């Protein structure tokens, strides 16, 4: 016969150890959660303080004739001489200074103040001209799956969000710009995810002979078709960040593969004398957008674009 009294006595220390471990795990988990929210709050506070350094715009009575003149960013330039502009996307928390340096690595883990920060900063491709802007300007930032950096840009995967937010603003230190979104697409940064191919959408010189091939490739990939037109005289701007759409999971919901994929929002500058309005009701979903091969493998379907010719931009030697 089992002696319950002795069994309970033996189990006493075990229960205490289990209880102690549970408490430790709870405290560690709680501290991580608290730290996470403090980190988000700190990032938001930092951006708010930087935004407050920009003087209020002039009243209508004081407005200068040149409505495209940039705000006074001198205070930001004093903090970081690599400051090149400010990006704001309505209906999101994207309202950030944009910086640039000699590579695309430094600001992956350094903030506007050049301090180490895992969230990094919003930065322009090191090859781009931050003053006159190239035919194709690229701006990057992390997706932290919260409300910071470029996390909320993944909402553009949905046409309904696009219809609410078809235009955003990116100002350089020289002038204001509004940008109409032409296309949104998902692509890969690792060649092994698309039959050895990486679509080079981050090349700055997408004008001249490069333009037609680039736009033809974009048109295949865009998730929806907008009413915005584009030509090789336009300045293009791409906002780029990571997206988890093509990650792979097992039947238990555990991620088995972390895809190296990006969402790209391609816009073109509002032309001189053109209205900022966009007829979003004319936008419609692309029934068969081109994805990386990984997408078709994930869904167990045939890739209709598998034998497509691989497009590459022509190098422009004069631009280095």
Tens of pLDDT, residue by residue over 161-191, are 999 999 999 999 999 999 999 999 999 999 9
| CA 136 vs CA 132, 158, 226, 268, 281: distances in Å | 11, 24, 19, 9, 27
Lowest mean pLDDT among 46-50, 142-146, 214-218, 275-279: 46-50
d(CA 203, CA 209): 13
Using a pLDDT cut of 90, give the percent of the chain over it. Answer: 73
Contact assessment for residue 156 and residue 179, using Cβ atoms and an 8 Å cutoff:
no
Asked whether residue 40 carries a pLDDT value surpassing 70, the answer given is no
pLDDT band, very low/low/confident/very high, at 319 (cuts 50, 70, 90): very low
Which H or E run includes 171? strand 167-172
Q: What is the arithmetic mean of pLDDT over 145-170? A: 96
């Amino acid at each position: 016969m089992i002696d319950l009294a002795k069994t309970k006595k033996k189990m006493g220390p075990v229960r205490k150890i289990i209880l102690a471990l549970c408490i430790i795990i709870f405290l560690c988990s709680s501290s991580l959660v608290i730290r996470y929210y403090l980190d988000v709050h700190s990032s938001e506070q930092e951006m708010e303080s930087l935004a407050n350094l920009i003087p209020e715009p002039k009243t209508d009575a004081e407005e200068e004739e040149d409505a495209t003149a940039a705000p006074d960013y001198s205070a930001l330039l004093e903090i970081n001489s690599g400051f090149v502009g400010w990006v704001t996307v309505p209906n999101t928390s994207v309202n950030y200074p944009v910086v640039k340096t000699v590579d695309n690595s430094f600001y992956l883990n350094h903030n506007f103040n050049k301090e180490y920060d895992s969230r990094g900063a919003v930065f322009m491709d090191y090859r781009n001209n931050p003053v006159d802007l190239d035919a194709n300007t690229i701006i990057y930032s992390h997706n932290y799956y919260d409300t910071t950096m470029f996390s909320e840009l993944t909402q553009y995967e949905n046409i309904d969000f696009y219809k609410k937010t078809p235009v955003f603003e990116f100002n350089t230190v020289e002038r204001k710009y509004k940008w109409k979104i032409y296309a949104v697409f998902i692509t890969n940064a690792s060649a092994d995810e698309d039959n050895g191919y990486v679509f080079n959408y981050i090349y700055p010189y997408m004008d001249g002979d490069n333009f037609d091939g680039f736009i033809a490739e974009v048109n295949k990939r865009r998730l929806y078709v907008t009413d915005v037109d584009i030509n090789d005289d336009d300045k293009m701007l791409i906002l780029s960040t990571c997206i988890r759409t093509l990650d792979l999971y097992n039947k238990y919901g555990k991620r088995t593969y972390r895809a190296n994929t990006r969402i790209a929002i391609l816009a073109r500058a509002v032309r001189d004398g053109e209205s900022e309005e966009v007829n979003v009701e004319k936008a419609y979903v692309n029934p068969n957008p081109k994805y990386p091969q990984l997408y078709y493998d994930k869904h167990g379907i045939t890739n209709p674009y598998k034998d497509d010719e691989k497009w590459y931009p022509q190098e422009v030697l004069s631009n280095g």
